[in-house]
Chain A
Amino acid sequence: DQQVKQNSPSLSAQEGRISILNCDYTNSMFDYFLWYKKYPAEGPTFLISISSIKDKNEDGRFTVFLNKSAKHLSLHIVPSQPGDSAVYFCAASAPIGETSGSRLTFGEGTQLTVNP
């Protein structure tokens, strides 16, 4: 049961244009959402996050939008740069207990390629 889905395994964009990566989730208990970026031969690194009490969070060229009613979030990269070429993972968090805290569920990942 894939609770977090990234339906596009790959995406191409032109340098200077917008890249939009999408993510859908099914678990209504998720209350915090994150995007991670992964380059080959490296571990994923945190990119941006959003709490379920917000519908938008912006950090430089990166903006995450959350639509709770649709259980959908998206990552916008404007303008896209060739260095943004990487695999992007969407992740969602739900509390699991006072001592165990919360844990993340990841999507399958989307390979973004930004062409010069």
Chain B
Amino acid sequence: DVKVTQSSRYLVKRTGEKVFLECVQDMDHENMFWYRQDPGLGLRLIYFSYDVKMKEKGDIPEGYSVSREKKERFSLILESASTNQTSMYLCASSLTATNEKLFFGSGTQLSVL
């Protein structure tokens, strides 16, 4: 089975801090994604990557950046955390660019105070 591992289950940060959310997948998937889940808004795509060192903006990239130095690892960076970035963050991967079936991690609940 594919495993997508997010480094933290819960995080509490202060406004203005730089925050790193890490995600690792173990099945050699090409595509990796970062979503945030908010009540009443569903899952919204922040950034995705279809290859090492490649990245594409999703629907809500403002305030975020990403890094993909290795195929298995995709990091989400909040340069200066704000309270409106309090959310559940979900990392996902898929085998190929045209394989829409995503495998998700368990999520990181981030609270920015």
Could you say which residues of chain A place their CB within 8 Å of the CB of B100? 32, 34, 49, 91, 93, 102, 104
Among B19-46, those with CB < 8 Å from A are: 31, 35, 40-45
A106: interface (CB < 8 Å): yes
CB distance from B17 to the nearest CB of A (A): 25
Chain A residue nearest to B45 (CB atoms) is A103
Question: Besides A34-B101, A41-B106, A108-B41, 15 other CB < 8 A contacts?
Answer: A43-B106, A44-B90, A44-B102, A46-B102, A46-B103, A89-B43, A91-B100, A95-B98, A99-B50, A100-B97, A101-B31, A102-B97, A103-B58, A105-B45, A106-B44
Name the 10 nearest CB pairs between A and B, nearest first: A101-B97, A43-B104, A106-B43, A108-B42, A93-B100, A106-B42, A101-B98, A44-B104, A46-B101, A43-B106
Q: A interface vs B, CB < 8 Å?
A: 4, 6, 9, 32, 34, 36, 41-46, 49, 89, 91, 93, 95, 99-109
